[in-house]
Chains A and B, each alone.
Chain A
Amino acid sequence: MEHEGVAADIHAYLDDQLEPAQVASIQEHLRSCPACTELYERQRAMNSVVRQHAHYHTAPRHLARSIRSTLRAHAELERPRRRVAWGWFASGAAFACAVTLTVSLTLFQIDPRGAAPGLDRELVEAHVRSLMVNHLTDVLSSDQHTVKPWFNGKLAMSPPVVDLAAEGYPLIGGRLDYLDQRAVVALVYRRAAHPINLFIWPETGSAAPRSEARQGYNVLRWTQGGMTYAAVSDLNLGELQDFQKLVARAAPASG
């Protein structure tokens, strides 16, 4: 075998990826060629430097936890849909229809302001969807002065964008989302590995924060300064409440 052939195959030889016949022919050449042997030895030494000293990045411990909880939430979201479909066939359409109607009417009577319980579910679904489809942010920036103008012209309102990096909740970016039949602002913050979606839309009046736990996610919803805010995250409720207080303090109190 000539030099060129050896030079081309030296890596496959080093990596033990050659057929026995090719190995034999390279070895034979190396025995009689000091130049190729030098090439081989130098590359072998370099490979071992890389293997020994290139950094192996092991996953941070919280990542497995956060993957588990995302998967479970995803599974939870899948489950009720299937059950509803089965119940429909099993019990007969008319009966189910009547029951559903009664249930929704009852629910609306409890909370007639349109803040239906379905909204929390929608919020959680929007949150999970944003994590699933590589669509956490449309504008990716930790700078509130980049994120806020991005919404100009996309919405009839200008959302309050506050920077909470110093408090341990860095801003990641923002996007438009669609909730409760309207376009809303979604700001994305992060606490350690936990993304927080902060949905914002205009609404009059004021309402104290109320929390709801759903499928492993916490939802905190309140109204102030002409806007309703809803924070959704797999973060524990305590830390999400801290986040809520920080936002409430920094955002305009009256619209």
Chain B
Amino acid sequence: MTEQARVRRFEQVALPHLDAAYNLARWLTRNDADAEDVVQEAFLRAFKFFDGFRGGSERAWLLTIVRHTCFSWLQQNRPSEVVAGYDLEVAAELDPAALDPTFRAPSGADPEIALMHQADEDLLNEMIATLPPQFREVVILRELEDLSYKEIAEIAAIPIGTVMSRLARARKALQRAWLERRTQEARHGA
């Protein structure tokens, strides 16, 4: 295959998943310009490793490289965020009550959980953005890319059990923040 044919073939495989790549990078870097840089670099890396691609899910293959590039970038540019994520995970394992899954909302809040005000949408996105990156990525890959636990495990290079525990913790954290906000609103009669 000539180099030009290789480029064309790669583009056919990879470019359809550019949005998925950018979405993941944008959520992990939380910044347009950095997301663009990381995606550019990930595509070049993917192109270099393209001969090693043995078929299977093209999106998962590409996202694995994007994810890896994102975490290299985070480690270099925002190491404290990455460390905080691992610390949280260790803390939760030592003391499961720290992230108690049986958090109870004030009764009566449930029917409204799915009702959104415009301002809440910003809040929700902010809440996701403040999760540590290891937790944020499983939420994005699961809820926005609709990937299976197995695919997420491969992309993030972690066991399926870790996918499940990170997802559970991330969702609990979101739910708790969300319900606290609801309770505040109710108290202020908003």
Contacts and interface: CB of A to CB of B under 8 A. Distances in A.
A136 interface: yes
Contacts of A43: 171, 175
Contacts of B61: none
A174 B30 CA distance: 23
Contacts of B167: 11, 15
A193 interface: yes
B87 interface: no
Contact of B37 (A17, A39, A57, A136): A136
Contact of A47 (B6, B35, B47, B143): B143
A75 B27 contact: no
Given A42-B110, A72-B7, A75-B6, A50 B102 contact: no
Interface in B9-50: 10-11, 15, 18-19, 21-23, 26-27, 32-33, 35-37, 39-41, 43-44, 47
Given A64-B18, A79-B3, A42 B105 contact: yes
Chain B interface bracket (under 10, 10 to 19, 20 to 34, 35 or more) = 35 or more
Contact of A11 (B27, B37, B168): B168
Interface in A67-90: 67-68, 70-72, 74-76, 78-79, 82
B40 A67 contact: yes
Interface of B is mostly: helix
A207 interface: no
B161 to A, nearest CB: 11
Given A8-B168, A54-B144, A63-B18, 12 more contacts: A12-B149, A42-B105, A42-B110, A46-B171, A49-B113, A53-B116, A54-B128, A54-B139, A60-B32, A67-B15, A67-B18, A68-B11
